[in-house]
Amino acid sequence: MTHYPFVPFDSQRYEPEEMWRRADAFHELMDRRRSIRHFSGEPVPRELIETAIRTASTAPSGAHRQPWRFVVIGDPAIKHEIRVAAEAEERKTYEQRMPDEWLQALAPLGVDWHKPFLEIVPWIVVVFEELYGFYPDGRKRKNYYVRESVGIACGMFITALHQMGLATLTHTPSPMGFLREILGRPKNEKPYILFPVGYPAPEAEVPDLERKTLDEVAIWDPRPER
């Protein structure tokens, strides 16, 4: 096994004041991010999506395998096909597969099986996890921590979109196998999540949610009795 050559780390150090400023500004920016279900059909330049994918692809990954594929759909005919297939699965999910407890959990959010945004948005980005790769001789090459790696990359994708003023939604039409077929992806790739991407519709509304407080989500130096 050869090693990567090691090079000096191009680190960035800020004065304390500047660190506070950046930390607060970034938190304020991210605290305004919301999942949006009402999109505008206004076009979004392809280059912006490219840059968001480049940013996502800087995510850390198991053994640096970068086991993500961002499949981008701008063609209205393919978007239509995705909408029809997603709504068929979602309808079954909402009407037959979801237990009552799940339906009750979703009720306050006002979501249902209708997914018109899949045809309205300028871009759909379907992220696939690459379950394994291949050696040059064709043998399967294992990937590591695929779900974790792809999840992190997706978080960075959402962040990149928000930072440039675009909106998205983490949509998981379930089961998602139809996406591999419609998009003609190979067997070693599995659909992970679908992102409709665009500008929010001017009349878009979001549920007035509260986020958990820091105390609810962060635990410092716990010392359980042993």
Dihedral, CA of residue 116, residue 120, residue 122 and residue 123, to nearest 10? 0
Q: Does 189 bind ligand IYR (CB under 6 A)?
A: no
DSSP 81-105: HHHHHHHHHHHHIIIIIS-HHHHHH
The tokens describing 86, both together, are 């997603």
Interface residues for ligand IYR in 43-82 (CB under 6 A)?
none
Q: Give the nearest distance from C-beta 64 to ligand IYR in angstroms.
A: 31
Query: Is 24 exposed, middle or buried (CB count within 10 Å of its CB: 0-12, 13-18, 19+)?
Result: exposed
Rounded Cα distance, 61 and 78, in Å: 30
Q: Give the nearest distance from C-beta 1 to ligand IYR in angstroms.
A: 42
Using CB under 6 A, pick the residue from 53, 90, 189, 195 that binds ligand IYR. 90
Interface residues for ligand IYR in 123-162 (CB under 6 A)?
none
Rounded Cα distance, 153 and 144, in Å: 14
How many chain residues touch ligand IYR (CB under 6 A)?
7
Would you give the distance in Å from CA 175 to the centre of its chain?
17
Q: Are residues 52 and 161 in contact, defined by beta-carbon separation less than 8 angstroms?
A: yes
Q: Does 34 bind ligand IYR (CB under 6 A)?
A: no
Using CB under 6 A, pick the residue from 51, 163, 172, 188 that binds ligand IYR. 172
Using CB under 6 A, pick the residue from 37, 69, 171, 190 that binds ligand IYR. 171
Q: Give the nearest distance from C-beta 24 to ligand IYR in angstroms.
A: 29
Q: Give the nearest distance from C-beta 111 to ligand IYR in angstroms.
A: 5
Q: Does 106 bind ligand IYR (CB under 6 A)?
A: yes
Binding positions for ligand IYR, rule: CB under 6 A: 90, 106, 111, 171-174
